[in-house]
């Protein structure tokens, strides 16, 4: 593994090839805020809160620290005025969905984000994708996924898979930074529960898990 020399917030860092800026920063104790990052999951780059300023080849650009590879000669600033302004707006956008999410509230204090700057949005979900990616990458079940695109994007459980896999798992629940996941799950469960009708095989509420009635 080749060594890579870069600078983060004025400190020299020796990183290993293949490391991201985020990993290099952590290796010397420089904190870069993240929301969608998870140690067990591949970098995804959805929340963009880890955006930092990086100088390379005489050009300054804004990059997502969780995805941008550490490179020789890179000069990184994790807290420039511009970076802080952008993080503030990003946090405000997420707070419009989840105004009480602990992690967001804590970051809001650091960056001066106003949770009421934007009108409250209907969904709690900030689409960090932790549940979707955990289910796909770690559990390899793909029980929860993204649907629609743009501002209509949302997460949803796929009933046929969820009914088989989710009951004994629910490992994605604690990953959720906003508690949206429970809501989504409960909703799916509700949608999937047909009206109570007596008798085996008539599709009552226990469909799918360990009940042998079907």
Partner 1 sequence: MPQFTTPAELEAYRREVLSGRDSAKPCITLCSGSACHATGSNKVAAAIALEIEKQGVAAEVDFRRTGCHGFCEQGPIVVIYPQGVCYLKVQPEDIEEIITKSIKEQQVVERLIYADPNTGERTPLEEEIPFYKNQQRLILGSNLKIDPKNLDDYIAVGGFQALVKVLFEMTSEQVVDEVKSAKLRGRGGAGFPSGVKWDFARQAPGAQKYVVVNCDEGDPGAYMDRSVMEGNPFAVLEGLMIGAYAIGASEGYVYVRQEYPLAVENLAVALKKAAESGLLGTDILGSGFDFTVKVHRGAGAFICGEETSLLNSLEGKPGEPNARPPFPATKGLWGKPTNINNVETWANIPLIINKGAAAFSSIGTEGSKGTKIFSLVGKVNNTGLVEVPMGATLRDIIFKIGGGVPGGKKFKAVQTGGPSGGCLPESLLDTKVDFDELTKAGAMMGSGGMIVMDEDTCLVDIARYFLKFLSDESCGKCTPCREGIRQMLKILTNMTEGRGKEGDIELLQALAEATLGSSMCALGKTAPNPVLSTLTHFRDEYAAHIHNRKCPALSCKELIAYYIEPEKCKGCGACFRICPAAAIEGEKKQVHVVTQHKCTKCGGCLEACPAAFDAVRVLSGEPVPEPVAAEA
Q: Residue numbers of the site for partner 1 (CB under 8 A)?
A: 43, 45-49, 51, 62, 64, 67-69, 82, 85-86, 89-90, 93-94, 96, 117-119, 126-127, 129, 146, 148-153
Strand-strand pairing, 154-157 and 144-147? antiparallel
Q: How far is the CB of 198 from partner 1 (least distance, A)?
A: 42
Asked if 142 contacts 136 with a C-beta cutoff of 8 angstroms, the reply is: yes
Q: How far is the CB of 192 from partner 1 (least distance, A)?
A: 24
Sign of CA dihedral 140, 144, 148, 152: negative
For residue 106, the tally of other CB atoms under 10 A from its CB is 10
- Which of 156/207 has CB closer to partner 1? 156
DSSP 34-90: -SS--TTS-----S-TTEEEEEETTEEEEEETTTSBP-TT-EEESS-HHHHHHHHHH
Asked if 141 contacts 135 with a C-beta cutoff of 8 angstroms, the reply is: yes
- Which of 125/162 has CB closer to partner 1? 125
- Which of 42/109 has CB closer to partner 1? 42
- Which of 36/162 has CB closer to partner 1? 36
Q: How far is the CB of 16 from partner 1 (least distance, A)?
A: 17
Asked if 169 contacts 139 with a C-beta cutoff of 8 angstroms, the reply is: yes
Q: How far is the CB of 35 from partner 1 (least distance, A)?
A: 8
- Which of 82/170 has CB closer to partner 1? 82
Indicate the SS3 state at residue 101.
coil
Q: How far is the CB of 70 from partner 1 (least distance, A)?
A: 11
Q: How far is the CB of 117 from partner 1 (least distance, A)?
A: 8
Would you say how long the chain is, in residues?
A: 214
- Which of 69/99 has CB closer to partner 1? 69
DSSP at 139: S
Q: In which element (H, E) is residue 159 found?
A: helix 159-165
């Amino acid at each position: 593994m080749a060594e890579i020399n870069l600078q983060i917030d004025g400190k020299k860092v020796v990183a290993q090839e293949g490391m991201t800026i985020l990993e290099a920063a952590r290796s010397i104790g420089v904190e870069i805020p993240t929301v969608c990052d998870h140690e067990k999951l591949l970098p995804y780059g959805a929340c963009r809160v880890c955006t930092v300023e990086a100088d390379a080849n005489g050009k300054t650009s804004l990059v997502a620290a969780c995805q941008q590879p550490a490179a020789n000669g890179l000069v990184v600033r994790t807290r420039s005025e511009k970076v802080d302004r952008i993080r503030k707006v990003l946090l405000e956008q997420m707070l419009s969905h989840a105004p009480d999410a602990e992690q967001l509230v804590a970051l809001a204090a650091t960056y001066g984000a106003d949770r009421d700057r934007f009108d409250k949005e209907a969904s709690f979900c900030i689409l960090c994708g932790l549940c979707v990616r955990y289910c796909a990458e770690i559990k390899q079940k793909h029980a929860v996924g993204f649907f629609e695109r743009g501002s209509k994007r949302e997460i949803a459980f796929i009933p046929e898979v969820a009914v088989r896999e989710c009951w004994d798992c629910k490992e994605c629940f604690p990953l959720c930074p906003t508690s949206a996941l429970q809501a989504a799950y409960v909703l799916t469960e509700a949608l999937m529960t047909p009206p109570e009708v007596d008798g085996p095989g008539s599709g009552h509420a226990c469909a799918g898990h360990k009940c042998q009635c079907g």
